[in-house]
Amino acid sequence: MQKRTLLQSAFALAVAATLSSPLLAQDKPIKVGVTAGPHAQIFEQVKKIAEKDGLKIQIVEFSDYVQPNAALAAGDLDANSYQHKPYLDQQVKDRGYKLVSAGYTVNYPIGLYSKKVKNLTDLKQGAKFGIPNDPTNGGRVLLVLQDKGLIKLRPEAGLKATPLDVIDNPKKLKFVELDAAQLARSLDDLDAAAINTNFALSAGLNPAKDAIAQESAKSPYVNIIVVREQDKDKAWVAKLVKAYHSDEIRKYIQTEFKGAVLAGF
């Protein structure tokens, strides 16, 4: 009897230890989708910090803005980190995704680039201007152009403005709508283009030096970590956000990107 009791006690202790250990309790890594460039680079650092807290992360890279949300909604990812809130809101509205923001990450003031002019005022009449073809980033660029005095939009257009909302266009700019990832590669064929910072950096463009104009840092386009609604209150989500919001990550962003990417938390 005593031997059986000892064995039962040992088994109970082993089970308790397994359940209490975050490293052992996590059967498989959390899959986090990111776009190539700064999002991926930052998450490589987040991964190291999270692992100290018992959270294993597997990073999955994507080359566009559409697939990471589709993969998350389908359950192929546990979280993603690549988009701002206006983009997520539009995706939820258009596709019915049950996805929510779990925490802020970084802000990428969008840059305007050209291989043909050094200043926006030098753009010729009828210049071809490339903008992202998704509603939120396209509207974001039009708001920047309005802020720089190149166009005027209908007052009610808001964050989702499209070229159809342009009511004044003195230079008669011709807007060429392309996938955001294609804009940097299409710069030779355009007079100018607005390129999201992650894609600009991937193409070897330095926003601080190469952009002929930039969006104001005070914008609603801070990026976010996104999870499924059903997961938002789970412990691993809190650990993931905690790791991202650490002082180590803030310092890494400041040192690595030198103002091209800003901490948004």
CATH number at residue 149: 3.40.190.10
Q: What is the pLDDT of residues 41-100, one digit of tens each?
A: 999 999 999 999 999 999 999 999 999 999 999 999 999 999 999 999 999 999 999 999
152 and 179 fall within a common domain: yes
Q: Which residue has the higher pLDDT, 47 or 219?
A: 47
Same domain for 192 and 248?
Answer: no
pLDDT 10s digits, 233-249: 999 999 999 999 999 99
Looking at the fold, whether 84 and 159 belong to one and the same domain comes out as no
Per the domain annotation, does 81 fall within a domain?
Answer: yes
* Rounded CA separation 189/89 (Å): 32
Question: What pLDDT is attached to residue 206?
Answer: 86
Report pLDDT for 8: 47
pLDDT attached to residue 109: 84
DSSP per residue over 43-59, as a string? Answer: HHHHHHHHHHTT--EEE
Position 32 in a domain: yes
Q: Identify the pLDDT of residue 21.
A: 40
What pLDDT shows up at residue 143?
A: 94
Domain that holds residue 193: 111-214
Query: Are 102 and 79 in a shared domain?
Result: yes
106: three-class secondary structure by DSSP: strand
User: Can you give the pLDDT at residue 24?
Assistant: 39
Is residue 5 in some structural domain?
Answer: no
Asked if residue 232 belongs to a domain, the reply is yes
The reply to whether 133 and 77 lie within a common domain is no
pLDDT at 3: 43
pLDDT greater at residue 103 or residue 257 = 103
The residue ranges of DSSP E strands in the chain, in sequence order, are 30-35, 57-62, 79-84, 99-107, 111-113, 128-132, 152-153, 166-168, 174-178, 192-195, 213-214, 222-228, 262-263
The answer on pLDDT for 20 being more than 50 is no
Assessment of whether the complete model's pTM goes beyond 0.85? no
Quick one: pLDDT band at residue 26, thresholds 50, 70, 90?
Answer: low
Residue 137 and residue 57 in one domain: no
Residue 18 in any domain: the answer is: no
Q: Can you give the pLDDT at residue 132?
A: 95
**Cβ 203 vs Cβ 155: under 8 Å:** no
- What pLDDT score does 4 carry? 47
Distance of CA 29 to the CA centre of its chain: 21
- pLDDT, one tens digit per residue, over 149-168 is 999 999 999 888 999 999 99
Which region among 100-109, 188-197, 212-221 has the lowest average model confidence (pLDDT)?
212-221
Answer yes or no: is 10 within a domain: no
For the chain, the domain total comes to: 2
Predicted pLDDT at 108: 84
Mean pLDDT of the chain: 90
6: confidence class by pLDDT, cuts 50, 70, 90: very low
Q: Give the pLDDT confidence of 187-196 residue by residue, as tens digits.
A: 999 999 999 9
Asked if residue 255 has pLDDT above 60, the reply is: yes
pLDDT tens profile 109-145? 899 999 999 999 999 999 999 999 988 889 999 999 9
Q: Which residues contact 74 (CB under 8 A, 6 or more apart)?
A: none
Assess if residue 9 is contained within a domain.
no
From the CB of residue 139, how many other CB atoms can be counted at a distance below 10 Å?
Answer: 23
